[in-house]
Amino acid sequence: VIELQEQSERVAANTEGGNDGAQLGLAVRPLDADERQQADTDGLLVEQVSGPAAAAGVQQGDIIVGVNGARVKTVKALQEATRKAGRVVALLIQRDGEQIFLPVRIS
């Protein structure tokens, strides 16, 4: 059941419409239990990156932990946070144990 849910969330992140993961150029999925423990955080793993997110410096393997100051743990939370945003979305990314903010300009 969890695997099916993760697959459906991956698909949801790739759908068009609104300021969601697709407009950012991201394909993401929730971290599994082992990944959460290893990263010592909760968030969304970037599986593919293109477009505005790639131009902003987001990389495959990054973990998105927040959007515009709000923590995100699900694809739905990412979609809601980016829908509420304007033309720039501030992503809080965890990479190599460090957290950085990356502004992503949505065209």
Evaluate whether 30 touches 9 at the Cβ level (below 8 Å): yes
pLDDT digits (tens, 9 = 90+) for 30-86: 999 999 999 999 999 999 999 999 999 999 999 999 999 999 999 999 988 888 888
pLDDT digits (tens, 9 = 90+) for 13-29: 443 334 445 588 999 99
Distance CA 20, CA 75 (A): 9
**Whole-number pLDDT of residue 3:** 41
CA angle 54, 86, 84 (to 5 degrees): 100
pLDDT at 100 over 50: yes
